[in-house]
Every structure is written in C-alpha cells, then in structure tokens.
Amino acid sequence: MQEITVPSDFVVPEKASIVDSMLKHRSESPTKALFKRRAADGSWYDVTTKEFADLVDKVAKGFIASGVGPGDRVSILSATRYEWTVVDYAVWRAGGTTVAIYETSSSSQVQYIVENSGTSLLVVENANQKAQHSPSLADAAELKETLVIEEGAIEELVKRGEGIGDDELEQRHANTLASDVATLVYTSGTTGKPKGVALTHANFIHECHAVRVTLGDLMSEGSSTLLFLPLAHIFARVISVASIVHLVQLGHTTVTPTLMDDLAAFKPSYLLSVPRVFEKVYNSAEQKAEDGGKGKIFAAATETAIAYSKALESGGPGLVLKVKHKIFDVLVYSKLRAALGGNCDSAVSGGAALGARLGHFFRGVGIPIFEGYGLSETTAAVTVNAEGAQRIGTVGRPVHGQSVAIADDGEVLLKGPVVFGGYWKNEQATSEAIKDGWFHTGDIGTLDDGYLSITGRKKELIVTAGGKNVSPAQMEDAVRAHPLVSQALVVGDNKPYIAALVTLDPEALPGWLHRHELPADTPISDLLDNEKIRADIDDAIAAANALVSKAEAIKKYRIIDTDFTIESGELTPTLKLKRNVIHDSHNTEIEGLYTK
C-alpha cells in the first residue's frame, strides 16, 4: 500500500471552538473590515469584525431565547448570502449545531434531513421556500418553527434575545468543546438517501490551519474573495470559516448572469470555484472572441498560454515564447484578468476534476488555479496544489497533518485530524467507511512523488461486455470542456462498446446560431442531426478519445434536447451526475446507441 503523510505539530486545545477567532478579532482588531456587503444600489460597503461579532451575539441570544440548547440542531436553507454566515456563527455561539441544506433540495430531501438531524429550528431564505417545504415538515416531531430571512428573521431573533444576558453567552462558549459537533453536512446522494457527515469544531480548526500553511498569502490578511458557491457545500463553508479566522475579506453572491459584474465590482484577490465555472469563464471568452471575429487570435493566445505554462515545468519559456506571451498578454490575457476584477492573481478549484488543459491555460494567463481534493467527510481539502508545489493534472499533496494512501485495489484512503468521526445516526455506514483508522473514499487514484491524482469512482466503473474496466469521469470532463457542451454521460456497462449522451449548452447556442446564420429561436430539437453541430461534437468526442485506449474510446454518441439539471433531479447540488436517474429517464436513448 502506497502512503504519504505530511506531519504537523499543530494541536487544537480541548476547549477551542470556531467562534474563538471571531471574538479575538473583535477584541484586537474591532475596526478591521472583515466583510463587504452589497447595498441596494449595487455598491459594496464594509462590515467590521466588531459589527459582525456584535450581530452574531445578538442573534445567538435570540436562538437561546427561542429554546435552542447546547447541541441542538438549527438548519439553514438559503442561497449564499451574508445572513447565512451570521446565522451559522450565531448557532455556534449559542452552543448549537448547524445543519446545512441546499436551497435546491426537494421537499422530500428537506423532510429527511430535518427529521434525521432532529432539527428544532429551521431558517429559510424566502417565503416561497417556506411555502414549498412546510407541508412536508408538518409531522417533523422536533421542529418547533421556521423563520424566513427575507421576512425579518435576523431582526426577529435580535428582538427575542434582548432579555438574554452576556453571561449566558459566555457560559455557552465556556462549555463548548473542540470535540463537539459543529455541523451536519448531508452528502449529495448520487444514490440512496444522503448521509449526515458530523464535523466537529476541531475538524474545522485543523482544516483552517492546514490551508493557511499550505496556501500561504492567498489565505492571509489582505486577501479577499467573493463567495458564490452554495454555503451548504463544505468547500465554500470552510473557505468562509477560514477567511474569518485569517482576516480575509469576504463577500457573498450567487452564480447568476450578473456574476461577472459582481466580480468586476468586488475585485477579489483570488477565486474559489468548481471546475464548471472556470470552464464557463473560458468558454464565454472564446465565444465572445468568435462572435467578434477574433476567434483565430483567441485560439493562438490559448495555445501560447498553455505552452507557456508547460514550459514553466521544464526549464522555463524560451525567448520566442516569451515574446508571443507578452503580445497576447496585451491583446487577450489582461482583458480576461480585468473581467475578473483586475486584482485576481490566483484561484482554488475543487469538487470535480479541472482538466490539465484548462489548468495550463489559466496559469498561462496569470491566474494559477490550485486544484485540491476533499470530501464533506474530510472538512473539504485534504490535498491541494500550492504556489511552488503545483503539478497541473493532479490534486496536489496532502495538507499539514494528513495522510493519504492507495489501497491494493486503487482506492484512495485518508487519515488525519480533518477526517470526520462518523455519520449521524448511521453506525453501519460509518463502519463501512472507516476501517482500521482509514476513511475509505470510494475514489480511485494514484500517488506520484506525493501528488495525488483521482482517476474515477469505484462505483462508477463501467465494465464492458468484453471485460474492459472504464472510468467514465475523465472522458466526461474532456467532452464537457467543449464550449458547445453542457453535460456528458458515458455509458457502456455490459455493452459491446463505450457510448455517450451529450447535451448542448443553452448559453453557448445563441452565438453558435448567429455564426452559422441560423434563426436565433431555432429549438435544440431541430439541431440534433445538424451536420455542423455534429462536427463540433465530433471534435469534443475526439478530444476525449485521445486520452484513452481504443477499447475505452467512445464509439457512438447521441445529442439529446434536454439538459441534465438539479431541477430535473439528474444533477446533485454540487453538479455531479446522478447516473441512475439519468439512466432511468433516458433509457430509450441509451438503448438506441446499441440498436441502431
């Protein structure tokens, strides 16, 4: 069994909690601008450490007055916004446990999480969410009430807490242990019911220390980032907590058509995202260049950026490449950096594979993306690339204090203080996941000089009729990298060859239709057999097939006229494919790949 451990002498005190840093900052740096909030007119204004901590205290008192006791669960169902973080910290300040629920969750999922966690109080974002989920929650035995952020939940809690003294807050804080469960994060559940990952204060504190040591200046006072990933996702949640710990200025928004405008106005020093957003940034830039008649320039700039990045790993770029890179920096790269606010000099990616080509492109334009790997069960990153220790195409080396091993069957095993202790009320799942002190991730990977590469999931392996084992994720990522593709599903289990379903990106289609002189209102159903569309998708398939052997290559594909979405139940909230759902809903199309 291969194994690597990165040692650490960092120790979390028995009485430590996540809110300690917030209280420390209020005492030592009360006027430090910790957050930026967006005003009604679209401008951004500062929120100091004292203003944040004071509001957290008042809301925490409101929770106490509402009957939230030590260890009680409070659920949050909301898009990413400042109030999410306020409520999160207020629950911890009151000695409770936060339960994170995706705003896109179905009522049956919300019901299961609320009932399984024993939630006593639910905070939702808006009246529509309350109306949608209330019927399903009518019989939730331990749920006492639901508060609505946009209907004054924060103000109501502040009012309720007016009669609670500071001594009660301090007593709750004094009684909090690092080993107490800080949050329950329910797995996305690509199959079966989600499991509640129980993470402690110690898990978070260790993770915050590890990412600070690994990422250095990126996670230091003076940096800033705009959160737009769901805070129910452990990746965004840890960055939120770590930013508060290390005085990184934080803003909140969501992935909407105005995201690029928000980035331009906020001017973050680094980005936090999943690969699909980086793919969208690249694809949008490429399409804009194509629409403006500058497609050849952008293509040349892309290849130069990739070559420049690769040269950094082999002695550095030569004179000719340096000159070309400088020219394209003026023509292309600087404009891309400006679109991200002009101050962004790095990024962190997680949640799925980024792809080496995209990683080289962004590093070549001056925004290195430090790809990492982790799960809810590991409090986010357990490995990550970093400045001076980056190997594009891998997910980096272990962060401080963590161990990574590769089992004989290729499964990635993890151990360390960021790894959870078990699933909430699910001893069977816990015993299946944690064996001999190692967390069995279900991912397949390799180690090379301490750098981890993830090659697939054990449960997703396709075994063709010829006995060939195929991991679909790598090919799906490659197909999806094409600007015209939204999603791809590779199939072929017990079939004679590998095939794929492909969906088209509705955001890329208008530009494509314009360039091919087709009506703007042409429905996707009319394009499924269009020769020019198929030529583009042929290119995407060829790029994927270049990564694998002939036996693993995609032999046939079908374009379908509906996308895989969270709303359709075919994607998880973290944009992972729900393969069983897609197989059921598109069984006819899949079978057609082998009968025609």
Residues of the chain with CATH 3.40.50.12780: 18-176+224-268, 273-458
Looking at residue 190, what is its pLDDT?
Answer: 52
From CA 74, how far away is CA 323, in angstroms rounded? Answer: 57
pLDDT in tens, 226-251: 999 999 999 999 999 999 999 999 99
pLDDT in tens, 32-68: 999 999 998 889 999 999 999 999 999 999 999 999 9
pTM above 0.85, yes or no: yes
Looking at residues 564-572, what average pLDDT do you find? Answer: 87
Q: Identify the three-state secondary structure at position 118.
A: coil
Where residue 342 falls (left for φ over 0; alpha for ψ -120 to 50; beta otherwise) is left
Asked if 125 and 77 touch (Cβ cutoff 8 Å), the reply is yes
152 has a pLDDT exceeding 60: yes
**Measured on CA atoms in the order 341, 342, 343, 349, is the torsion positive or negative?**
positive
Listed in sequence order, the residues at least 6 apart from 115 whose beta carbon sits closer than 8 Å to its beta carbon are 140, 141, 142
From CA 499, how far away is CA 460, in angstroms rounded? Answer: 15
Fold classified for 273-458: Rossmann fold (3.40.50)
From CA 94, how far away is CA 66, in angstroms rounded? Answer: 11
Looking at residue 97, what is its pLDDT?
Answer: 98
User: Could you write out the DSSP letters of every residue in 26-84?
Assistant: HHH-TT-EEEEEE-TTS-EEEEEHHHHHHHHHHHHHHHHHTTPPTT-EEEEE--S-HHH
Looking at residues 261-265, what average pLDDT do you find? Answer: 90
- For the chain, the first-to-last Cα distance in angstroms comes to 45
Where helices occur in 434-530 by DSSP H, the ranges are 472-480, 509-515
From CA 456, how far away is CA 467, in angstroms rounded? Answer: 17
Residues of the chain with CATH 3.30.300.30: 461-592
Fold classified for 18-176+224-268: Rossmann fold (3.40.50)
DSSP state of 536: H
575 has a pLDDT exceeding 90: no
pLDDT in tens, 389-416: 999 999 999 999 999 999 999 999 999 9
- Of 136 and 473, the one with more pLDDT: 136
From CA 288, how far away is CA 339, in angstroms rounded? Answer: 12
Looking at residue 192, what is its pLDDT?
Answer: 65
From CA 223, how far away is CA 466, in angstroms rounded? Answer: 53
Residue 72's identity, in one-letter code, is D
Looking at residues 98-120, what average pLDDT do you find? Answer: 95
User: Phi and psi at residue 14, in whole multiples of 5°?
Assistant: -60, -35
How many angstroms separate the Cα of 370 from the Cα of each of 272, 279, 307, 348, 358? 10, 15, 18, 5, 12
CATH class of domain segment(s) 461-592 = alpha beta
Least confident of 32-36, 124-128, 195-199, 543-547: 543-547
Looking at residues 426-455, what average pLDDT do you find? Answer: 95
* Per-residue confidence band for 331, with pLDDT thresholds at 50, 70 and 90: very high
